[in-house]
Amino acid sequence: MKNATMTNAVFATKPEAVAILDVRDKAGILEALAQLFAEAWDIDAQTVAEYLEEREKLGSTGFGRGVAIPHARVPGIARPIAALVKLDQSCDFDAADGMPVELVFGLLSPESSGAAHLHALAAISRLVRDENVRNALADAPDEEALYALLTNVVDRDAA
């Protein structure tokens, strides 16, 4: 299962792009997310970090209700790809509602994508607005459970 990639949705993800991490601040979260993308998708972590940080300067991607959705358009990517980080401890992310985050969905899209990027953001937004899904992800005991929940919800919503 380690090499399985979920691609039937508006974004692709894989088990290697899901992690539970002990990160204590926003900068650390973005760095860890960039590293996760690099390892899972074989892209340059420094480039990803720079694009995520540049996007964050435009305004916080702290979605609210304990969720952040850092995202960016990055050259060299063929389609929207996603990563999910569950934090061991909630962390301030300058979210709109002032609440700390515990779930961080990263999204990278092709540099020239317009609608595809927005559709992927909307799909993630819908996913985390569902209280049952958000709580199940927050309560997941390990990466395998996180990926299984994510896959099941995205497959259900795509049907």
Which residues are the active-site residues? 71
CA distances for 16 relative to 38, 57, 63, 83, 154, angstroms: 10, 28, 24, 8, 17
Please name the helix (run of DSSP H) or strand (run of DSSP E) that holds residue 105, with its range, or none: strand 101-110
Q: Are 66 and 134 in contact (CB under 8 A)?
A: yes
Whose CA is closest to 18, among 65, 77, 73, 87? 87
In angstroms, the CA 21 to CA 29 distance is: 9
In angstroms, the CA 106 to CA 159 distance is: 23
